[in-house]
Amino acid sequence: MRRKRHAPLPPDTLDEPFGPPPEEYLYRCPACGEEMLVNEAIIDVAVGATQFRGEYTGGMPTLGCPGCNGETMVYIEQEP
């Protein structure tokens, strides 16, 4: 399920003020209600770490919550 998109930008996009928006995912902590948008690069790192521990079960990984310092942040699927 990992997607790799680390190709360099083609030169003809360099004069745009902003590049393509990064893919971000809404995460929420069920314990303290903290919400944050997580860049897909961070998701990739979290999946890699989970795979390294042999705990990866597929789908979106849980992330550490800055509010309660636990691995409690879960991905909130949003309707488009």
Least Cβ distance, residue 36 to Zn ion (angstroms): 10
Question: Shortest distance, CB of residue 4 to Zn ion, whole angstroms?
Answer: 30
Q: How far apart are CA 73 and CA 66, in angstroms?
A: 9
Print the binding letters for residues 2-41 with Zn ion: x by CB under 5 A, - otherwise. ---------------------------x-xx-x-------
Using DSSP bridges, classify how beta strands 35-39 and 74-75 pair: parallel, antiparallel or unpaired: unpaired
Cβ-contact 63, 46 below 8 angstroms: yes
**Residues in touch with Zn ion (CB under 5 A):** 29, 31-32, 34, 65, 67-68
